Amino acid sequence: MRIHIAKAMAAACVLSSSAVFAADLPPVAPVEPVVALDWTGFHIGVHGGLAAGDFNYPFHASYYDYLNLDGEAEITASGGFAGVSVGGDYQWDNFVLGVVGDAQWSGYEGELSIEGSIEDLGSAEIEAGSSLEWFATVRGRVGFVWDRALIYGTGGVAFGEIESGYSASISDDEGNSESLSDSVKTDHVGWTVGAGIEYMLTNNVSFKTEYLYIDFGDEEIIGFSDEGISAGLDVETQFHTIKAGVSYRF
């Protein structure tokens, strides 16, 4: 009997001390529910980047039956760009399907300068080149979500405006000279493909880096034909871009 009473008293002491210890502990803050990241929704953003590639100039000329000339010249080009984008995404499981459009001012350009002389005839100085004034794309994208990152591929249609021009100064041995210059703007439609990574910084702000290859094909910038004399010059434009940007997601 005494043994049972002793056990009961010991148990009561333990429970009492545990209650006092628990009362001294600070209150535990409620656990915030984890909000799952969701890429579904619309977004707007700004970005900037660099472009590098070539302007190619296929040309031909003929003079009756005495001259038939075909060839191609190439100018390496580069420059920066900056613009805005807008789009929307839909997520199911770990996959994202979306569409995005962007437009940007461009400093992408290439120039060629030539100085030469022909014995007993004279000399010439020629400058020629092209610049991409602006370009835009409308693309679809398909991606996979891993943690807070979206890894995606993208492709679609590209639009742009290219200004091409030349200036030439020709002098003969007698000191006579003549200057010529001309420029033309052409609108281009082509295609683009690329890939990127976008990272969700918060539930509303994301940061991305993206690579695109853009091909505008070729467009005639000079064409002439008259009584056995003809000449033509095209511009072919292909380039690579890499950019970084921030988007706000709704």
Cα separation, 182 vs 188, in Å, equals 20
pLDDT of residue 149: 97
CATH number, span 41-249 = 2.40.160.20
b/e for 200-214, b at 16 or more Cβ within 10 A? beeeeebebebebbb
Among the listed residues 108, 107, 115, the one whose alpha carbon sits nearest the alpha carbon of residue 170: 115
pLDDT at 46: 98
CB atoms within 10 A of CB 8: 10
**Whole-number pLDDT of residue 222:** 72
Q: Which of 212, 188, 178, 180 is nearest to 134 (CA)?
A: 188
Where do the structural domains in the chain lie, given as residue ranges? 41-249
Q: What pLDDT score was predicted for residue 10?
A: 46
Q: Which residues of the chain have pLDDT under 70?
A: 1-36, 61, 63-67, 69, 114-124, 172-173, 175, 224
Residue 19 has a CB neighbour count (10 Å cut-off) of: 9
Residue 152: its pLDDT value, please? 98
pLDDT for the residue 207: 98
- What is this structure's pTM? 0.77
Angle at 243 between CA 73 and CA 128, to 5 degrees: 20
pLDDT attached to residue 15: 44
Question: By C-alpha distance, which of 70, 25, 55 is closest to 165?
Answer: 55
Q: What's the CA gap between 245 and 237, in Å, rounded? A: 25
* Number of helical H runs and strand E runs in the chain: 1, 9
